[in-house]
Chain A
């Protein structure tokens, strides 16, 4: 499938000598040297990226890393100096004024860090702004705006003025304004940075739900690594205008490409990033409820695990049997009489920490397919060794980071 959005060799230079600066950057000069020689600042330096449809692509970097400039290049609020930018295979940089306007009207919408709501318009008028610009009639525009406001939980506030809303609510209006136009691509420039941490977490969860509903491709800018790890299907770490590493969250945390990225991720609690799906295995035997305890013990020893799942003839989980339960049991007893019910189940993207927090260390966790059958399992031993490895990695990196 072709990428929804792609960039090849994108540069943005601010200052008097953009072409010369791009040449120097291509030749490998760094930002400081280019500034010394040309007086120009390279804000985006040779960025290449491909974003698939419905992906949440997070660009993470500190302030001044060029991430806000990069996202503005996508809808050409800032004109890139050189490079190629394709949306659905169409060259955005070749578009004339009208083509660009159509792109902004119909495909790409944006959420801003400081909300950028129009203070003289009501919440509903703000949410309807994109539709108004598009020329949609008043009644239809209002209906769609209210629908978008309801999606973000602000249906009751349609006729209030933005100034009467809290920060979190204002950003919901900003989100509703962007969603009301049914965008294919949603650009979000640090949308939650101005909110306090609890509201921020709510908004992140809500964004994930909304993304499923509106099926938009999202380019999300943040300086908060935790936010990046929560939201991103892929994350790019940006520094001095260039991407240092691009990959899924686990890769960024598990295999940082260089010291800069490692430094960022060293404070991350890996048990919150590594998921059950990553350590689950499909080669573990299942027990039938009618099996005898002696046979179950043998299977358990052969598989070198601490517990096994019990499934019915359709492969649906009934419960689990642990090594300790088998030790104390009569060898002739039936598995169904000694098993613990129900079986623990988890999702592929459940972080390891969630299992620990549920107090479920000691029994195997079943991962189900969409028919509700056991697809794979995570043994307590797997879980512990993964946690231990993550822990060790945290320690090592912390030592490496300070050295």
Chain B
């Protein structure tokens, strides 16, 4: 009986050499033919990453902390500003300031490339159902495939080091910004788009005057998600040679040094909370008033903020 049923399972007749096919595809075809192309793709990532890392490491600790504190205060309020101050002091006190800056440079580089690729792709997929239908399974795969699986071909194509780590991070963190940009633009009321068309607006004017501003909150939510995913790749990136806090955790893991791992982990968590709160604040439309200007920001920081529009109207 069991024999009879086993006839129905394909493995009864032999094994499909799927692993060999993939191996062949990547090692014997992709790598020899396209390695130079992939190497060339590294160049812009490398430039941005190096520039950012050098800049962040060059900024003295008090200056960086002060700027971040002001940003947090400006976009997320007093409480987050206070938290930022404590978090930065703590990170420096436990001795991982340089690693934190390296991680930050990697994260920001990844987010930068995610944004310049993801926002246009999101806009494109909002405007064309065909693009959206094509992109959807690709994004699904990107979001479900375990990052360890694509670490191997990344190492084969890009080698090891910081830049391959950033590239793995980009692949992992890209989907939310595409999805949420597309969603945000599709959610803009059809009536508003119709009104813009009725007044003779071009596609471009509709996109920049109506759709993007109204989708901004959702796009910023996408950016926030992308940032958070990028941070969660910090440790995995360390497996293929990326440095920073991820490396601290990875080394701690390798030596069973729980203290060392915790130091890196705490750094990641603190930086994640600070960046999350600040980017969430960026998407808050209630900040869209006169205090956006430079002089407005200075006045606000000095406690001389002009009254908000809503307060002026008494509603």
Contacts and interface: CB of A to CB of B under 8 A. Distances in A.
Given A118-B210, A164-B309, A77 B199 contact: no
A298 to B, nearest CB: 66
Contacts of A114: 191
Contacts of A120: 213-214, 285, 288
A116 B199 CA distance: 12
User: Looking at B197, B210, B310, which has the most chain A CB atoms within 10 Å of its CB?
Assistant: B197
Given A116-B192, A120-B285, A120-B288, A104 B309 contact: no
A101 B309 contact: no
Interface residues of B, number: 23
B198 A77 contact: yes
Given A118-B210, A161-B309, A112 B191 contact: yes
Interface in B175-217: 189, 191-192, 194-202, 205, 209-210, 213-214
A160 B312 CA distance: 9
Nearest to A180: B199
Given A116-B192, A164-B310, A110 B200 contact: no
Contacts of B293: none
B194 A77 contact: yes
A101 B202 contact: yes
A114 B202 CA distance: 22
A109 B195 CA distance: 9
B192 A109 contact: no
A116 B198 CA distance: 11
Contacts of B288: 120
Interface string B263-300: 00000000000000000000001001000000000000
B144 interface: no
B197 A77 contact: yes
Interface residues of A, number: 29
A134 B200 contact: yes
A336 B195 CA distance: 63
A159 B289 CA distance: 11
A104 B214 contact: no
A160 B198 contact: no
Interface in A145-182: 159-161, 164, 177, 181
Interface string A93-130: 00000000111111011101010101110000000011
B105 to A, nearest CB: 34
B200 A133 contact: yes
A217 interface: no
A69 interface: no
A320 B198 CA distance: 55
Nearest to A109: B199
Nearest to A157: B313
B202 to A, nearest CB: 7
A109 B313 contact: no
Nearest to B191: A116
Contact of B199 (A102, A130, A159, A164): A130
Contacts of B191: 112, 114, 116
A104 B198 contact: yes
A176 to B, nearest CB: 13
A46 interface: no
A70 B213 CA distance: 31
B134 interface: no
Contact of B313 (A132, A133, A160, A181): A160
Contact of A101 (B200, B213, B315): B200
Contacts of B205: 133
A118 B192 contact: yes
A132 B201 CA distance: 9
A164 B313 contact: yes
Contacts of A105: 199-200
A102 B196 CA distance: 14
Nearest to A183: B199
Given A114-B191, A133-B205, A160-B309, A119 B199 contact: no
Contacts of A45: none
Interface of B: 189, 191-192, 194-202, 205, 209-210, 213-214, 285, 288, 309-310, 313, 315
12 contacts: A77-B198, A101-B200, A101-B202, A105-B199, A112-B194, A112-B195, A116-B189, A116-B191, A116-B195, A129-B199, A159-B309, A177-B199
